[in-house]
Amino acid sequence: MNQLMIDPAWAWTQYKPSPDVPWDLPTAAHLHRRAGFGATRQQLENAVARQPTDVVADLLAATEPETYKSQINSLIKAALATGNVKRLSAQWVYRMLTTPAQLQEKMTLFWHGHFATSADKVADAELMQQQNDLLREYALGDFSQLLLEISRDPAMLIYLDSVSNRKAHPNENYAREIMELFALGEGNYSEQDIRELARCFTGWEIKRKKFRFNRYQHDDGIKTVLGTSGKLAGEDGVAIVAAQDAAPRFIVRKLIQFFVMDEPVAADELVEPLAIQLRADNMQVAPTVQRILASNLFFSTHARARKVRSPVEVGVGFLRSLAASTDAYQLADSLEQLGQGLYYPPSVKGWDGGRTWINSSTLLSRANLIRRLVDGGKTRFDKQSLDEYLKAGGVDSSKELIDYLETSLFAVPIPAAAKDRIVDLDASSGRDAQRRVADAVHILCTLPEFQLA
């Protein structure tokens, strides 16, 4: 496996702006793309006026005000009243677009892919939202506790065919997934550990959409899980898994992949310092995320444009960068068509991400999504048309338009040939301003460079 060998001490040292890596608009845009779903030009300018560490700290500290939460809860309530998960997806898109707690939402999406559970199988909007709320509550919190809560989450257990677990026939599904996919990774447990952990979970059931412990079905014999023996209950089993050295390594490696780069995989040496910190922080995720986002590595060329935008980052990121609002139903549908249906991850492994987001079909669909968003009657850019919005932002020429979009939407410079094409198009076109701008944005967003985050 291709691994990134890099000096861990340098990598995780706090980033200090320098002539080589200045704290400027593109760097601030990089931070907001990764730690959230993008930021407007104004937000980027505000960020640049401050120290990067302060901006990162603010991203971590940001919470949703009570009034906002209450508005979102009314959207959730409306969706649950119909039992329609698609409506829940639209609600989540709306939240991603509007929440002031961007990092919390990005982490919620991270955990949704990590503890992947699909409404296709669960078929219950209430349970799906219950799990989503749980992921948000622990998004930057205690991983061990989240692991325990998710182990008793009705949607998760329904999804993994674990609604009943009797001592006579221990169900090994969840025991396998918690070690393989949720906490340790392959190679850090044995088949015997799976069988023993499954015994710990006996008596755990879902009845009438609620978790229940059926003591009559619990195997209260001695079990040995990952070297620890005793009359272990399910809670003990989860705690033993979370206490393994492999657990913080597994989570840190995934966080690096999520925030820093799709490829190559971080080497053990690079992972170790953060794994030690995560354990030292009692598995509290926030300090580790903060260290990643404020690190030399995060702002270095090893991280810049080293991720492929997920469909959510394409759609929501485009809109947020231009202060836009749109039809959340339609966007949620488009995300599903592009392979990232919210509440509908493809398997228990979640989304593979990285290069798998891109193929000839999705590349075209991504371009079409941008076109639909730009042309869609319901898409408004800060309550205006796109050309009005850009004009208000001081964009008066095709060159200024390119500069503006390059900063807001691109992780790498736009190729000169593409820039020339936009300038030529502008000069030769007799169309109205709105159409010209829409065409230019569409052309730019079809570039391979736009696919990089």
Instruction: Find out whether 198 and 238 touch, Cβ atoms under 8 Å.
Output: no
CA distances from 338 to 128, 238, 331, 378 (A): 21, 35, 10, 20
**Least distance to other proteins, CB of residue 71, Å:** 5
**Least distance to other proteins, CB of residue 380, Å:** 7
**Least distance to other proteins, CB of residue 378, Å:** 5
**Least distance to other proteins, CB of residue 67, Å:** 8
187: left (phi over 0), alpha (psi -120 to 50) or beta: left
**Least distance to other proteins, CB of residue 123, Å:** 9
Helices marked H in 19-65: 25-35, 41-48, 52-61
H or E segment to which residue 230 belongs: strand 228-230
**Least distance to other proteins, CB of residue 326, Å:** 5
Among residues 183 and 328, whose Cβ is nearest to other proteins?
A: 328
User: Does the bond joining 100 to the residue before it have cis omega, within 30 degrees of 0?
Assistant: no
Among residues 293 and 322, whose Cβ is nearest to other proteins?
A: 322
Which positions lie near other proteins, rule CB under 8 A?
Answer: 71, 74-75, 77-83, 87, 90-91, 94, 97-98, 208-209, 324-329, 378-380, 388
For 411-416, which contacts have Cβ atoms below 8 Å and span 24 or more sequence positions? Answer: 411/26, 411/29, 411/30, 411/33, 411/304, 411/305, 411/449, 411/452, 411/453, 412/304, 412/305, 412/449, 412/452, 413/449, 414/444, 414/447, 414/449, 415/447, 415/449
**Sign of CA pseudo-dihedral 389, 394, 398, 404:** negative
Among residues 87 and 307, whose Cβ is nearest to other proteins?
A: 87
Among residues 101 and 175, whose Cβ is nearest to other proteins?
A: 101
Among residues 90 and 348, whose Cβ is nearest to other proteins?
A: 90
The C-alpha atoms of residue 415 and residue 412 are separated, in whole angstroms, by 9
Among residues 244 and 326, whose Cβ is nearest to other proteins?
A: 326
**Least distance to other proteins, CB of residue 104, Å:** 20
Tokens at 157, concatenated: 């257990």
Give the list of residues 6+ apart from residue 300 with CB closer than 8 angstroms, or none.
21
The C-alpha atoms of residue 127 and residue 65 are separated, in whole angstroms, by 24
Among residues 328 and 444, whose Cβ is nearest to other proteins?
A: 328
The C-alpha atoms of residue 392 and residue 400 are separated, in whole angstroms, by 12
**Least distance to other proteins, CB of residue 376, Å:** 10
Among residues 75 and 363, whose Cβ is nearest to other proteins?
A: 75
